[in-house]
Structure 1
Amino acid sequence: MRKILILANNDIGLYNFRKELIQELAKQYEVYISLPFGSLVHELEKLGCYFINTPISRRGKNPLTDLKLFLHYRKIIRSIRPDLVLSYTIKPNIYGGLACRVTKVPLIANITGLGTAVERKGILQKLTLSLYKTSLKKVNCVFFQNKENQSFFLKKKIIKNQNRLIPGSGVNLRHYSLLEYPNDNIIHFLFIARIMKEKGIDQYLEAAKYIKERHPNTVFHILGFCEQDYLVELKELEKKGFIKYHGMQEDIRNFHKISHCTIHPTYYPEGMSNVLLESAASGRPIITTKRAGCREIVEAGQNGYLIEEQNSQDLISKIEDFLNLDNLSRKQMGLLGRKKMEVEFDRKIVVCAYLEEIKKVLR
């Protein structure tokens, strides 16, 4: 059998967003996955993958550590001799791409977001773009999750014509099925993300305090790992009744059942927000920022609202607009969001795009 090697930086993202693709690949190829060990590795192995433990410092900037990653990838490729490599996220794209180039192995890369190193101008941006340009010079195809990222790479001449736009990771419409909309008078909002500044947690907390004081019939939930130093503040606000913090949750569908709206005030450079795709697929209206990876999911005033980045007042205003709607109008927003997911963001679209490009490379 022909072999496909997948390079990723964590097991959770690979399992949650690429499982359906891996299932299809395992029917035809030997599939190897290279990533750090995690709780879902055994589930990936059950899909038919061969696991290769690969420690990655996701946000580290130590050049020696990154050199070791490149050498590790090169060693893996020379050992396995894959017919094709698929890569996701910045470091696997760059150092996996370099390893593929020196070993002359075909590569399909996926730009899952620019990341702060690329979005912020400076020496680090220039270095990262230079590495991208070198690593992707011989790439067979680059998948982009939004037009802004695609235009940026083309404008900077990092790639030429070997690229394709896909609707993010798509959403599994069976797993995230349309849920019955709540009828109760208590309005529940969800924040689902890593607890970090760039995900808009400050704006969410500020809005929660303002709205809760004026609309006591609201509940502001927070789900996610506390990545930065917010835990003390979260506990304090929870004691005062402004929020409910639930930490990491394995299955957020239980929270979508009680939710009336998902709020995602991020200004993090994402490819396409899976949080919003899953919320819309569940039939929930969304409030999010006017940035790439979020605005594509919202028809403003139809299935949600768009706000300015880092603007708490705008967020508060849109929450109040939502609260002024009757429940039937809120439910209709959710139904329009579900329809948009069915037409534009079905994960089957992404899987088919991958299978088409893989067929081109391996024919």
Structure 2
Amino acid sequence: MRVAIVINKSWNIFNFRLSLVKALLAAGHEVVAIAPEDAYSARLVAEGCRFVPLPMESKGTNPLKDLLLVRKFLKAYKTVKPDVILQYTIKPNIYGSVAAKLAGIPTINNVSGLGTVFIVQNLVSKIAMALYRFSFQFPAKVFFQNSDDKELFLERKLVRESITEVIPGSGINTQRYLPAPTFKRQEPFVFLMVSRALYEKGLVEYVEASKILKAKYPQIRIQLLGAIDEEGNIGIKRVLVEQWAKEGWLEYLGTSDDVASVVHGADCVVLPSYREGTPRTLLEASAMAKPIVATNVPGCKETVIDGYNGYLCDVKSGADLAAKMEQVYHLSDAALQTMGQNSRRLAEEKFDEKFVIDRYFRAIEGATGKVARHIN
């Protein structure tokens, strides 16, 4: 079969869907990546994909302008002629679904997170929901990454329950992301947040927590790894991130293609996000046996059993975030190690990518009526 994978960034396919790509290729299928061209497009080709560029703004919120994307998707889908299309992120999910219906090709969609349009209620969010309601008539399957997102779509009558299913995010390769051979508590203690510099990721609250903690424990290291994203009004300006770093509240590490090595150097991974699908960064941290502090919101709360492998904090509360980070800081070496081992156990039992890949192969078979099983 020819399988198209459509996302708003080639980077996204390479970093989050590469295991699925490899499984499809190993099963003898042709994989076509359809996305805007970036530095990772050639790397997808090197892995065995065919690549078809399709420019789109990942953050644009002009529905009239975005409607023109239907024509772009339709042209790509008619050119590629896939047997099935796997779509991720809001624009492929909405406009790609309409184009695929016009082209007569079955789709499997993945709601990997609700994003700003569901966090902020305004005219744009109302239009987005109307577009979801229309376009989600067409997919053969819609995967959600947590039960809360699925229930929200069902409550607002955006999708039929019969085509929905919950999967554990993108899953995590527990053979690639491994704990360090020996446990070591960092001196001084290191908290790490892996995220783009966005307001909705809770970075402001992370800095607030840093100020509280550093007043008591000035030696603690508070780190941020991730890109600065100044698009629209959801990204935090570089000048502000640099100001926080200059004032000593934050160590800004920039970006890295080797996130695992940075995570290995941390004692605890933190994500104070306002809402997620299932955050990949926390799955990676779990697989590498790191305790986690995250907000008690959809997506994040699925990755943390409070008191078992980390702590849940109140959303948009720098004070409560600081309190939970302080609890981790005061754990004994043995308790800190146990909490990390519990994270690893959750990754193996709940979030291993083999569960996600298997569900995709079953969905492809259901959508196409063809055998798609991957080779173990």
C-alpha displacement of 1:234: 3.2
Q: Does 1:170 align with 2:191?
A: no
CA distance in 2, matches of 1:193, 1:339: 24
Provide the residue aligned with 2:84 in structure 1.
84
TM-score (norm 1): 0.95
Change (3 A) 1:44 1:211: same
Q: Does 1:235 align with 2:242?
A: yes
C-alpha displacement of 1:133: 1.9
Change (3 A) 1:250 1:148: same
C-alpha displacement of 1:67: 2.5
CA distance in 2, matches of 1:138, 1:242: 48
Equivalent residues in 2 for 1:299-314, closer than 5 Å = 299-314=305-320
Stretches of structure 1 that go unaligned for 5 or more consecutive residues are none
Provide the residue aligned with 2:350 in structure 1.
344
Equivalent residues in 2 for 1:255-266, closer than 5 Å = 255-266=262-273
CA distance in 2, matches of 1:61, 1:239: 33
Provide the residue aligned with 1:358 in structure 2.
364
Offset from partner CA, 1:140-174 (integer Å, 9 cap, x none): 11111000111111122222111111001111112
SS of aligned partner of 2:305: coil
Offset from partner CA, 1:310-340 (integer Å, 9 cap, x none): 1011011112211221111111100000000
Provide the residue aligned with 2:321 in structure 1.
315
Contact 1:303 1:333 in 2 (8 A): yes
Deviates more, 1:164-173 or 1:133-142: 133-142
CA distance in 1, matches of 2:346, 2:215: 34
Equivalent residues in 2 for 1:39-188, closer than 5 Å = 39-160=39-160, 161-179=162-180, 180-188=182-190
Stretches of structure 2 that go unaligned for 5 or more consecutive residues are 230-234, 371-376
Q: 1:295 aligns with which of 301, 318, 322?
A: 301
Aligned residue-pair number:
361
C-alpha displacement of 1:237: 3.5
TM-score (norm 2): 0.92
C-alpha displacement of 1:239: 3.3
C-alpha displacement of 1:64: 4.5
Provide the residue aligned with 1:11 in structure 2.
10
Contact 1:225 1:248 in 2 (8 A): yes
One-letter identity of the residue aligned with 1:26: L
CA distance in 2, matches of 1:223, 1:32: 31
CA distance in 2, matches of 1:25, 1:32: 11
Change (3 A) 1:33 1:185: closer
* Runs of 4+ more than 6 Å apart: none
What's the Cα RMSD here?
A: 1.5
Change (3 A) 1:338 1:35: same
Q: 1:215 aligns with which of 181, 203, 217?
A: 217
Identity %: 33
Offset from partner CA, 1:95-129 (integer Å, 9 cap, x none): 10000112221110000111211343333222212
Deviates more, 1:85-94 or 1:4-13: 4-13
SS of aligned partner of 1:16: helix
